Chains A and B, each alone.
Chain A
Amino acid sequence: ELKVEQNPLFLSMQEGKNYTIYCNYSTTSDRLYWYRQDPGKSLESLFVLLSNGAVKQEGRLMASLDTKARLSTLHITAAVHDLSATYFCAELSSTSGTYKYIFGTGTRLKVLA
């Protein structure tokens, strides 16, 4: 069964602290995506990782991909309250020419002032 596991599922952290969210996936895909969702809102694309060793940074967030370990990480540096949201990773699965995303269950991040 294709599965994407994120941990932790819930994360409460103090402003200014660093933390990492982990995303383990099950296929040999070399495509991994991170999205952000604010409460009651849609999903916003954060990072598109398209090869082994890819690293992308935007502000206080940095995402990386290790396809050999089937692991992607989302690192938060010096967290601020505005980063409070739910973060989803998704792997791209391809079967017989059909492509679709498999989403993780999400990590709900709460940054405390």
Chain B
Amino acid sequence: DGGITQSPKYLFRKEGQNVTLSCEQNLNHDAMYWYRQDPGQGLRLIYYSQIVNDFQKGDIAEGYSVSREKKESFPLTVTSAQKNPTAFYLCASSIDRSTIYGYTFGSGTRLTVV
């Protein structure tokens, strides 16, 4: 079955530590996205990539970094510069950059600072 796999499901980060969240899709989608969701809030766009080897900052990119070396993979690194990283992180993909048919979402990673 095609889909998006996010791992891990739960992640704990110590102060000053970088952590990487994995997102893999086997849908052959061109575009991939990372969103952050805080409790009781909507989704905010962190980074997006509409083609391999290219990505753009979203609305809240500070303290995060991404890479898109392969079509199926779009990992997100939460760096120590992100001062309030505790949140639910969702990865999504769409068939192409137009996203006209909507997103497919992964199951999410819940990140907690300890």
**A residues at B contact (CB < 8 Å):** 4, 31, 33, 35, 40-45, 48, 50, 88, 92, 97-101, 103-106, 108
Contact = CB atoms under 8 A, between A and B. Distances in A.
B42 A104 contact: yes
Given A103-B43, A105-B42, A48 B56 contact: no
Contact of A41 (B42, B101, B108): B108
Contact of B100 (A40, A50, A103): A50
A18 B87 CA distance: 33
Contacts of B99: 92, 99-101
16 contacts: A35-B105, A43-B92, A43-B105, A88-B42, A88-B43, A98-B50, A98-B56, A99-B50, A100-B33, A100-B48, A101-B99, A101-B103, A103-B44, A104-B42, A106-B40, A106-B42
Give the contact-size bracket for chain B.
20 to 34
A84 to B, nearest CB: 16
B98 A99 contact: yes
The 9 closest A-B pairs by CB, nearest first: A105-B42, A103-B42, A103-B43, A42-B105, A43-B105, A42-B107, A42-B108, A48-B102, A99-B99
Interface in B50-79: 50, 56, 58
What DSSP secondary structure best describes chain A's contact surface?
strand
A92 B100 contact: yes
B11 interface: no
Contacts of A40: 110
B103 A45 contact: yes
Most buried by B among A43, A98, A99, A106: A43
Contacts of A97: 97
Contacts of A43: 43, 90, 92, 103, 105
